[in-house]
Structure 1
Amino acid sequence: MKHDLALMMALPNESKGLFEQEHINVHYSGIGKVNAAFKAFDVIQKTGCKTLLNLGTAGSSRFNAHELVEVSRFVQRDMDVSPLGFAVGVTPMDHDYPSGIDLEPYFKHLPQGICGTGDSFETGIPKVDCNLVDMEGYAIAKVCKKLGVRLVSVKYITDGANDTAHLDWEANLLLGAQKLLVLYKSL
């Protein structure tokens, strides 16, 4: 898989330099859906990859901290056009992916989760059906689907998506980077 694969993460904080020490090329998108969509498109165009591997961090009130979870579906937790009669999470007039994007599982040994993506650091219960939250995944998934590139996404759970999430996220980044590196090396 590695020969036609590109690796993408949101921030250098998520790799803690460990991937670079192993001479692994990481493409960093920056925070949020717009940055992620632009970077995913750019990486796919420049590398010609057949698979984009997205490794990163997420919060979850369902999965345990320090657990690796493979994303089986991405939804938008901040898409809210409910005043026009649409359910929260549904993108109006998007006939291909109105409410979510399903991914084909790759890592059979990892638990599977539904990730709600939004341009906010979630510290409460999302309004959409999801059991982990991030800030980039849905955008990456949509670009990959539109360009016919497989997306595999694994998240390290850093926090409980609660009122201490910002502190837990920072404190757990190094352990997350170590676990994600071990997973990457297993490919």
Structure 2
Amino acid sequence: MTNIALIMALPNESKGLFEAAGIEVHYSGIGKINAAFKAFEVIQKTGCKTLLNLGSAGSSHFDAHALVEVIQFVQRDMDVSPLGFEIGVTPLDHDHPAEIQLEPYFPDLAQGICGTGDSFETGQPKVPCNLVDMEGYAIAKVCKKLAVRCISVKYITDGANDTAHLEWEQNLLLGAQKLLSLYKSM
């Protein structure tokens, strides 16, 4: 696992289990700006060739407690449609498509399209996706720009609905256990 750095949004998502196992975790904080800054910083500091993003996500498509490998990221909150752009498209960003494709790494995991946004999603996103988070797209875009491989696996904590805020917190420990087991299997 040389040349791999691990990034997660919050210590709450690891519950200290990774650190107890002697695994270094870089925490980005919540949201796309924090995630982009931390991803850039980690890549520059470590020289990693792969950035592994583990964390939590909501989904009305996948069952709670599932591990899902993200094979594509989209922005669920980029909306410049009044100017004629499709939802999810960053205007005038010609070098990078709106959808960021990731090469699968874990053949036995379900695969999903993750919609990233700076909001805690509790409804149906405006862009096609089957799980939601708040950091992944930004991490993947920094990786793409710097030619670093991005692998992302999300633990489904909630149904991205009106009880998501309650389910998210109560399911984090089991998620951390499953993500740690997956990490150790690499």
State if a TM-score over 0.5 links the two structures: yes
SS of aligned partner of 1:3: coil
1:99 CA drift (Å): 1.7
Aligned CA-pair RMSD: 0.5
Report the equivalent of 1:141: 140
Query: 1:105 and 1:80 mapped to 2: Cα distance?
Result: 28
User: What residue ranges of structure 1 are gaps of 5+ in the alignment?
Assistant: none
Equivalent position amino acid for 1:63 in 2: F
| Offset, 1:181 | 0.3
Structure 2 counterparts to residues 91-170 of structure 1, below 5 A: 91-170=90-169
What are the superposed Cα offsets for residues 1-34 of structure 1, whole Å, 9 maximum, x if unpaired? x111000000000000000100100000000000
* Structure 1 residue ranges (4+ consecutive) displaced by more than 6 angstroms after TM superposition: none
Equivalent residues of 1:103, 1:151 under 8 A apart: yes
1:178 aligns with 177
8 Å CA contact retained: 1:68, 1:111 = yes
Amino acid at match of 2:66: E
How far apart are the structure 2 equivalents of 1:123 and 1:3? 38
- The equivalent of 2:10 in structure 1 is 11
Structure 2: 5+ residue runs without aligned partners? none
Once the 2 structures are TM-superposed, how far is the Cα of residue 98 of structure 1 from its aligned partner?
Answer: 3.3
What is the letter of the counterpart of residue 37 of structure 2? F
Name the counterpart of 1:64: 63
1:96 CA displacement? 2.4
> In the alignment, what sits opposite 1:86?
85
Opposite residue 65 of structure 1, the aligned amino acid is A
Distance in 2 of aligned mates of 1:70 and 1:28: 19
In the alignment, the residues of structure 2 paired with residue 35 and residue 136 of structure 1 have an alpha-carbon distance, to the nearest angstrom, of 8
Match of 1:26 in 2: 25
Shift of 1:92: 1.0
Letter in 1 for 2:173: L
**How many residues matched?**
186
